[in-house]
A = this chain, B = another copy of it.
Amino acid sequence: MIADNMLGLVKNSSVIRAMFEEGNRLAKIHGAENVYDFSLGNPNVPAPAEVGTAIQEILDEEKSTYVHGYMSNAGYEDVRKTIAQSINQKFDTTFDATNIVMTVGAAGGLNVILKTLLNPGDEVITFAPFFGEYRGYTANYQGILVVVAPNTVDFQPNLTEFALKITKKTKAVIVNNPNNPTGVVYSKETVKKMAAILEEKQKEFGTDIYIVSDEPYRELVYDGVDVPYLTKYYKNTIVGYSYSKSLSLPGERIGYLVIPDEAADSEDIKAGASVATRILGFVNAPSLMQRVVAKCVDAKCDVEAYNRNRELLYNGLIDLGFECVKPQGAFYLFVKSPTEDEKVFCDIAKKYNVLIVPGSAFGCTGYVRIVYCVSYDTIKNSLPKFAEIAKELGVTK
């Protein structure tokens, strides 16, 4: 028998991942071009050319035992220095190598920081709709995920309810900006209000509450919108970053944590994050990819391609009569379901080989997530399918 909690997890395994497997299965039957898989955030835009060049240069110039060898658990010092400098330049901060811990993607980074911070029973707050994996990550360390109900007007966080849900046991707040699944970007105003609430509650309870800012979509923003860098607004902020989207390297599992000196118990957190990296079995972020991202620190994938996809899919769906807050970041649309139970919408879509994820997977029923990190043609060819789905559901403009 496997572990009791794993039995449950296997049964209720990630809806998104199950759909990804389903998409692969359908593609084998109907041909990939006839399946419209909008389920998984697997970038369709290739890595920028700098990545290939960097790999080539590193293999040509550096010793195999260095490139592929062990380094400190926190990562190569020169890589961490380069990344710190790049952050400083972009956001006018003052980090150095000691503030950076290289991680196995943002998912690895979140696990490392939660392992470092949480005692059993500690509470972690997040805002619905939210990336469903936060539930598992928190449970890994016997933490309790406390969910703030969605604000479906504009999907900015519901700060009134947030303030009410902070307790003496609140250890961390996971913020995802730009947001998965809504694509909404939390404004500077929102961040300032959130920080003020936290400052007050810290004083009230005599505790330290850390914002863990999960930022894999930071570079994927449109309409010139600005994503505030949270360490500048709240000193107990730890940033979790990933190159999965900015460099289109999701399979490579490469990212980092930023642990500012201003954060309470900063030295313990840095040391703890390094030990957690080792003890959770990551050991270190993949070595070649560490060296690659340091060489590509200012490179970016073709964000404009995502923007074109966004416009095509958003306008296409709105024209058909669907409702959706237009997102300014990430590569997701969070569309209101025409049926009360959004799973009905998903099931009908699937009849047309259109795969979309129910909002319940993100703690927000009545909505569906549609990814647009697919090819432009997939979106274009899916629109007649969405028209048929709209017709079947009685959706009209």
Contacts and interface: CB of A to CB of B under 8 A. Distances in A.
Contacts of A359: none
Contacts of A14: 275, 278
B13 A275 contact: yes
B68 A248 contact: yes
Contacts of A370: none
A269 B40 contact: no
Nearest to A118: B3
A196 interface: no
A110 B24 CA distance: 29
Interface in A330-385: none
Given A10-B268, A275-B13, A284 B251 contact: yes
A56 B44 CA distance: 22
Contacts of A71: 251
A38 B200 CA distance: 52
A249 interface: yes
A253 B284 contact: yes
Contact of A282 (B59, B108, B141, B269): B108
Given A59-B55, A140-B279, A280-B111, A73 B2 contact: no
Interface string A105-126: 1011111100111110000000
A58 to B, nearest CB: 10
A324 B301 CA distance: 56
Contacts of A5: 119
Nearest to A276: B6
A32 interface: no
Contacts of A282: 104, 107-108, 253, 281-282
Given A43-B69, A65-B248, A281 B117 contact: no
27 contacts: A1-B268, A2-B265, A3-B115, A4-B119, A7-B268, A9-B272, A10-B275, A17-B72, A20-B70, A40-B70, A42-B70, A43-B69, A44-B65, A46-B65, A51-B68, A65-B248, A67-B251, A68-B248, A108-B281, A111-B280, A111-B281, A137-B279, A250-B283, A251-B288, A280-B280, A281-B282, A288-B289
